[in-house]
Amino acid sequence: MSDKKFTFIDLFAGVGGFHFALKQLGGECVFASEIDVNAQKTYFANHGLMPFGDITLDETKAKIPQQFDILCAGFPCQAFSIAGYQKGFSDSRGTLFFDIEQVIAKHRPNVIFLENVKNLVSHDKGNTFKVILDILQNKLNYEVFYQVLNTAEYANIPQNRERIFIIAFDKKQNFDTKKFKFPNKIELTKTIHDILEHDKKDERYYYHKSKYYPQLLEEMKNKDTIYQWRRVYVRENKNGQCPTLTANMGTGGHNVPLILDDFGIRKLTPKECFAFQGYDVKNFVFPNIADSKLYMQAGNSVTMPLVKKIAENILQVIL
């Protein structure tokens, strides 16, 4: 008999932010799925579990154990067809949420734990979110809670990152869901200097040879903030926080966070980006893959300590 308190599956798993958080709370991951091969490598290096691939395939879904307690998914937001959205009828075919819906319908986990971009709420004039709620509440018979939370306000990590979290409990289990609440705001006491590394980095992170260097030098004067190169201009984040990390960092994207350190102007390292997502980077294993892939993985990730705080409140209900 396992000494684990609960079991969970990790869909659209990325590097395993949900896995880190729930494992720390006594959970056992019994299935993971991630389509990106580089993210699979990082996941395996850190968790010793190789995620299966494309969750839209029936043969992948067939590998999910029949019973588990929590379904976790930081699923990509895709457009929904609302052609048939009348009188509570919802149609999510052709979207990745449909695959989550199928898994829920077959396995009836006690809890659904979803994360997505804040814009999911307003996407397609609110219709996308309406479909998701309708499916969870009316079609699948779950009680749903949701809230947009900012990493800087709820996790004491100086990254301005707003994400929606959706928690749903199986009504058939008669849980006392009044016990569930989202975490309270906490004071942000950490600054970017608690996360940034202060030694000289490899030359590849510095912009000395960039054609934009003169402009960067002209505009970047403050060591207490993080800047962004926005295609043609430099933007200073005057709140002193790290801007929202994105998946296009390091791939020629225009949101690469930049800092002025004692040695020049440089971009954040992948390690610093993961630290801004709340990972214990001293013990995090970075596989031998391109920096651009690691930047993407950090930008796609959940903020791990915030997921852990929400999970603690979920466990108050189901354990």
Q: Rounded distance, CA 185 to CA 109, Å?
A: 29
- How many alpha carbons lie under 13 Å from residue 181 in its C-beta half-sphere? 5
Q: Rounded distance, CA 112 to CA 309, Å?
A: 15
Rounded to the nearest angstrom, the gap between the alpha carbon of residue 219 and the centroid of all alpha carbons in its chain is 32
pLDDT tens by residue, the chain, 319 residues: 346 799 999 999 999 999 999 999 999 999 999 999 999 999 999 999 999 999 999 999 999 999 999 999 999 877 776 554 554 456 777 789 999 999 999 999 999 999 999 999 988 888 889 999 999 999 999 999 999 999 999 999 999 999 999 999 999 999 999 999 999 999 999 999 999 999 999 999 999 988 889 999 999 999 999 998 877 788 898 888 999 998 888 666 556 799 999 999 999 999 999 999 999 999 999 999 999 999 999 999 999 999 999 999 999 999 9
Work out the end-to-end distance of the chain between its first and last CA atoms, rounded to an integer number of angstroms: 17
Dig out the tokens for 153 from the structure.
């306000």
pTM of the model: 0.94
Residues classed as catalytic: 77
What residue spans define the domains of the chain? Answer: 6-185+299-318, 192-289
DSSP bridge partners of 166: 114, 146
The size of the chain, in residues, is: 319
Q: For domain 6-185+299-318, give the CATH superfamily.
A: Vaccinia Virus protein VP39 (3.40.50.150)
Dig out the tokens for 110 from the structure.
């006690």
What does each C-alpha distance from 308 to 47, 77, 83 come to in angstroms? 16, 22, 37
Number of neighbouring beta carbons within 10 Å of residue 235: 15
Edge-to-edge strands, sheet with 257-261: 233-236, 227-230, 257-261, 264-267
Number of neighbouring beta carbons within 10 Å of residue 176: 10
SS3 readout for the chain: CCCCCEEEEEECCCCCHHHHHHHHCCEEEEEEECCCHHHHHHHHHHHCCCCECCCCCHHHHCCCCCCCCEEEECCCCCCCCCCCCCCCCCCCCCCHHHHHHHHHHHHCCCEEEEEEEHHHCCHHHHHHHHHHHHHHHHHCCEEEEEEEEEHHHHCCCCECCEEEEEEEEEHHHCCCHHHCCCCCCCCCCCCHHHCCCCCCCCHHHECCCCCCHHHHHHHCCCCCCCEEEECCEEEECCCCCECCCCCCCCCCCCCCEEEEECCEEEECCHHHHHHCCCCCCCCCCCCCCCHHHHHHHHHHCCCHHHHHHHHHHHHHHHC
